[in-house]
Amino acid sequence: MVCTMAFLRALLTSARTFRYGPGLSAGLPSDDAVMLDAPDERLSPALVAAALGDHEPAAKLLATTRDAADWEARDRTLARLVAFARGRDGWLTGWLAASPRDPDALLVKAALAVRHAWESPAHAELLREVGPLITAAAEADPRDPVPWRLALDHARGTHATHTVFESLWEQAVRRSPHHYGSHVSALRYLSAEWYGSHRECFDFAEQAAEDAAGDSLVQALPVRAAFALLRDEEAAARANSVQADRVDAAADLAIRFSAGFPPGDPWPAEVRNLLAYVLVARGRAAEALEQFRLIGPYATSFPWASVTGEALGGFLDARADARLRVASSTPLCGRQEHSGRRGH
pLDDT above 60 (res 186): yes
E strand segments, the chain: 35-36, 298-299
What confidence tier does 333 reach under pLDDT thresholds 50, 70, 90?
Answer: low
Q: Are 93 and 139 in contact (CB under 8 A)?
A: no
Q: Identify the weakest region by mean pLDDT among 2-16, 158-172, 180-194, 242-256.
A: 2-16
- Give the orientation angle of helix 269-281 with respect to helix 221-231, to 10 degrees: 40
- Convert the pLDDT of each residue in 65-99 to its tens digit: 999 999 999 999 999 999 999 989 999 999 999 99
Cα 194 to its chain centre, rounded Å, is 18
pLDDT above 80 (res 26): no
Give me the pLDDT at residue 10, please: 45
Helix and strand numbers (H, E) in the chain are: 18, 2
Give me the pLDDT at residue 309, please: 81
Give me the pLDDT at residue 256, please: 98
Residue 3 CB neighbours (<10 A): 7
Q: Are 276 and 255 in contact (CB under 8 A)?
A: no
- Convert the pLDDT of each residue in 147-177 to its tens digit: 999 999 999 999 999 999 999 999 999 999 9
What is the reported pTM?
A: 0.88
| Mean pLDDT rounded to a whole number for the chain | 90
Which residues, other chains included, contact 290 with Cβ-Cβ below 8 Å and sequence gap of 6+? Answer: none
Identify the three-state secondary structure at position 261: coil
Identify the three-state secondary structure at position 36: strand
What is the maximum span of the chain, computed from C-alpha positions, in angstroms? 77
pLDDT above 60 (res 122): yes
